[in-house]
Amino acid sequence: QSVLTQPPSVSGAPGQRVTISCTGSSFNIGAGYDVHWYQQLPGTAPKVLIYGNSNRPSGVPDRFSGSKSGTSASLAITGLQAEDEADYFCQSYDSSLSGWVFGGGTKLTVL
Amino acid sequence: QVQLVQSGAEVKKPGSSVKVSCKASGGTFSSYGFSWVRQAPGQGLEWMGGIIPIFGTANYAQKFEGRVTITADESSSTAYMELSSLRSEDTAVYYCAGTRDWFDPWGQGTLVTVSS
């Protein structure tokens, strides 16, 4: 059972917009700790997609955006492309565990 | 930009220990923090612990406290993770990752298989 809760799967057609939620608690997201998002393509290491709630590293397309409100955060992907098919993870810090925690991951399928 | 290269796959017996290395190149090793994150087959990501080489002290996830040891050797720009008392549930890919509040970059991963 992950500390941060994500939907197991989402799907969308090419060109559509999808969102992935990440729900935490007053010990992590709700306590003001930043949320970060990772993309993991099959058979590869995760790669940071969004850091500090809404910042994109250089090289990440602006089709990817992040937001945070209260005890939750969201990753939005617009203009879906086949290459976006991957697993997506959120991550934050948890004060009750004194360590970093991840969501269980969301598998994105491009129909 | 720092690049992280990890040691190769390992097969271990239950009850034994494994030590995985993570060599950094292309940046200032001491200015980074390094964490270890594992991923069991078909499962999610799990932070195990981390270290900031310039300070030398490691901190560990409660789940692994007492069973994992994370160290860093500044002279070789290498971080290490040793996990003891291995059981079958420890079969996973182990990643090292540069750490600020987020994890970047990541090593390529090291598969550790625990089997009798």
Read off the pLDDT of residues A27-85 as tens digits, 9 standing for 90 and up: 999 999 999 999 999 999 999 999 999 999 999 999 999 999 999 999 999 999 999 99
Phi, psi of B114 (to 5 degrees): -110, 115
pLDDT of residue A20: 98
What pLDDT does A102 receive? Answer: 98
Please give the Cα distance from B113 to B91 (Å, whole number).
Answer: 5
| B31 has a pLDDT exceeding 80 | no
Residue A22 pairs with which residues in a beta bridge?
Answer: A73
Q: What's the rounded Cα separation, in Å, for the pair A81 and B57?
A: 43
Q: CB–CB of B62 and A52 under 8 A?
A: no
**Chain B residues in contact with chain A using a Cβ-Cβ cutoff of 8 Å:** 35, 37, 44-47, 49, 59-62, 95, 101-104, 106-109
